[in-house]
Amino acid sequence: MRARILNNKLLLTVILAGLAVLPVVTESKFLLSMLISVFILAVYAMSYDLLLGYTGIVSFGHAIFFGTGAYSVGILLSKTKEPNLLIVALLLGVAIAVLMGILIGAVSLRVKDVYFSMITLALAELFFIVSEKWSSLTGGNDGITSIPVPAIFRDRIAFYYMALLFLVVMYLFLRRVVASPLGRTLQAIRENEHRVESLGYDVVKYKIVSLVISGMVASLAGGMWAVFQRYINTSVLSLDRTIDALLMTIVGGTGTLVGAIFGAGVVTFAHEWLSSLSTIHPIFERWLLFFGLVYIAIVMFFPKGIIGTIRDRWMKK
């Protein structure tokens, strides 16, 4: 057991070191950009994993948090034309996420898990439509273009390191959360909600806390996304955005933060690769079909995802 953890840490350090020297050895703008989006989306996927993998609740409204983070940055920076307000915008996004988490949780976490899924979907749809209609604020379908960002974020290599740092910090933070007594309670809720309740825990309260933390992290990821793209539109609030998080989490393995990171990488690269195949055959424009099939197979046959399954194999040896 101890050897396994040691192994893991070693492996992670090696990968991290590899990623850290990458910009030195490659000039490929494409690869760096791709990795930046993987880093940011990995944080988003990890935040989803806190809900799905650690607390055992299925939300279809995760894009709400990602989107509010992205729009906080997009709206504040482009309206004020003051790129140095970035920190304020990110904090604003986090504050809104906390508020949203409490509100959504209070309304919907009192009912059965299946209801929660339905309600988050409806709320997400509501947010999506509001963002489309309220175009004076959000730019509607056209979105917000050329968001002014601090100069340092315009340098691709500097941004690469910033995004990597962001991922590492968020990983360490979330690992701290899941290893804490709070995280253990969440995992107990996942395993047996009634038992935790009969032990005297206020399950709803813990679930709301989980939703709030997850929402805060997702909001930060959304904010970083807006900085990275310097352009956002309503797609940051769409159901597809939530499904992204879900696919990444499931593919990598629920209940393992590393799995979410890995899943983000696999999904992003596969997306890019499969859609590039559309020059060979137009069917690859519908790359999500292949991913849907892989996803179904994983849920049915490898419920622990790629990383979870690998870990299990290691454990047995």
Partner 1 sequence: MSLILNLLLNGVALGMLIFLIAVGLSLIFGLMGVLNFAHGAIFIWGAYIGWTVYGATGSFILALLAGTIGGVVLGWVIERLFIRPFYGNHVAQILLTLGLMIVMSEGLKIIWGPNILGFDKPELLQGVVTILDHAFPIYRFFTIGVGLLVLLGVHLLLTRTKYGLIIRAGVQNPEMVQALGIDVKRAFTMVFAFGAGLAAFGGVMAGPSFGSVFPELGMQNQLAAFIVIVIGGIGNFAGAAIGSLLIGLLQTFMAYYVPDAAVAVNVALMALVLILKPEGIFGARR
CB closer to partner 1, 32 vs 245: 245
CB closer to partner 1, 35 vs 250: 250
Buried/exposed code over 126-156 (b: 16+ C-beta within 10 A; e: otherwise): ebbeebbeeeeebbeeebbeebbbeeebeee
Q: Measured between alpha carbons, how far is 44 from 249 in angstroms, rounded to an integer?
A: 10
CB closer to partner 1, 82 vs 113: 113
- 8 A C-beta contact, residue 220 and residue 69: yes
Q: Least separation, in Å, of the C-beta of 181 and partner 1?
A: 24
CB closer to partner 1, 108 vs 233: 108
Q: Least separation, in Å, of the C-beta of 314 and partner 1?
A: 24
Q: Least separation, in Å, of the C-beta of 56 and partner 1?
A: 7
Pure H helices in the chain: 2-25, 29-49, 62-80, 86-108, 113-133, 135-138, 156-179, 181-191, 193-198, 203-229, 239-252, 257-276, 287-301, 305-316
Q: Least separation, in Å, of the C-beta of 52 and partner 1?
A: 8
Burial of 87 (0-12, 13-18, 19+ CB in 10 A): exposed
Q: Least separation, in Å, of the C-beta of 315 and partner 1?
A: 22
- 8 A C-beta contact, residue 45 and residue 250: no
Question: In degrees rounded to 5, what are phi and psi of residue 134?
Answer: -85, 65
Q: Least separation, in Å, of the C-beta of 292 and partner 1?
A: 4
274: tokens are 């499969």
Residues that bind partner 1 (CB under 8 A): 52, 56, 58, 107-108, 110-111, 113-115, 117-119, 121-123, 125-126, 129-130, 133, 239, 243, 246, 250, 283, 286, 288-289, 291-293, 295-296, 299-300, 303
What 3-state class would DSSP assign to 144?
A: strand
CB closer to partner 1, 55 vs 78: 55
CB closer to partner 1, 129 vs 165: 129
CB closer to partner 1, 118 vs 137: 118
Q: Least separation, in Å, of the C-beta of 290 and partner 1?
A: 9
Residue with tokens 């396994």: 4
Residue with tokens 């194999």: 313
